[in-house]
Amino acid sequence: MLIIGLSTIILFSIPRASEKPNVNEKRPYDRLFIWRIILVTLLLISSIIGICAYIKFQLLESIRPVISSLIQPNRKPFPMWTRRISLSHKKKKVYEINGSSEFKTKVIDGKGIVVVNFHADWCSSCIQLTSKLMELIEPMETLDLAIINLESNPDLVDILSVKAVPAVLAMSNGLVLDKFVGFQNAQMVEKFVEKLTANNSVHSKIDRNVSQFKDKE
């Protein structure tokens, strides 16, 4: 575009012939004038292309973060997980379990009823369910919430016969009092927690598997 502009300036600076044309003589179009028209046209076209390219670049830069967030898999914890970690440090009502030894110490040998929540990072319904369980359990004195990553604890998945996520088990003194598998709406989760606080739970067949933790003592 710079070359076209310089060429246009040079052509326009060349003076035209000073001789007077013969009116009666038919002359072809002035070639120099035609070249001026062509160069001006090219200059305008290149300017329009440059402006369009600049606008397109600015638009792409402005929407690039949005496109990246949609294309890239979302495996980072949601803000609610940050809230959970900070509150668990303060109240010790919500905590993560990593390994069978920690499960035995905090759940099997723990006091009171512990709601065990199996989740996976790729499971969006697990995150919603965990948030609801936190909301219900944190204010309570008799319930704790233990969060277990499905992929990081295959031994616990096998022992507790977890087949899918989300999976929630209520345990006390090494016994499974109640459980449910799959995402539940808010009303069902509230009823599940209320039933635990009312001590109306029934022992599960999974108790036989959990008993092996006590045999290791």
145 membership: H or E segment, kind and range: strand 143-149
For residue 212, what pLDDT is reported? Answer: 55
Q: What is the pLDDT of residue 130?
A: 93
Strand 143-149 relative to strand 167-172, pairing:
unpaired
Quick count: other Cβ atoms within 10 Å of Cβ 185? 9
The H or E element that residue 6 is part of is helix 2-13
Which single residue is written with the structure tokens 């830069």?
61
DSSP state of 140: -
- Give the C-alpha separation, 81 to 150, whole Å: 16
Q: Determine how many CB atoms are found less than 10 A away from the CB of residue 207.
A: 14
pTM of the model as a whole: 0.53
Go through the chain and tell me how many residues it has: 217
With tokens 């898999």, the residue in question is 73
Residues facing 95 on adjacent strands = 146
Clarify whether 126 is annotated catalytic: yes
pLDDT at residue number 118 = 96
- Predicted local confidence at residue 214, as pLDDT: 54
Residues contacting residue 112 through CB under 8 Å, at least 6 positions apart: 142, 143, 144, 172
pLDDT at position 74 is 46
- Predicted pLDDT at 154: 93
Q: Which of 39, 107, 115, 126 is catalytic?
A: 126
Catalytic-role residue among 123, 140, 181, 206: 123
Q: What is the pLDDT of residue 89?
A: 41
Q: What is the pLDDT of residue 203?
A: 46
For residue 33, the model assigns a pLDDT of: 72
Q: What is the pLDDT along the chain (217 residues), one digit of tens a residue?
A: 555 555 555 555 555 544 455 555 545 556 777 777 887 888 888 888 888 887 877 776 666 665 555 554 444 444 444 344 444 444 468 999 999 999 999 999 888 899 999 999 999 999 999 999 999 999 888 899 999 999 999 999 999 999 999 999 999 988 999 999 998 999 999 999 999 988 544 444 445 455 555 555 5
Instruction: State the pLDDT at residue 41.
Output: 85
How confident is the model at residue 198, as a pLDDT?
Answer: 81
52 is catalytic: no
Find, among 209, 215, 133, 212, the residue nearest to 166 by Cα.
Answer: 133
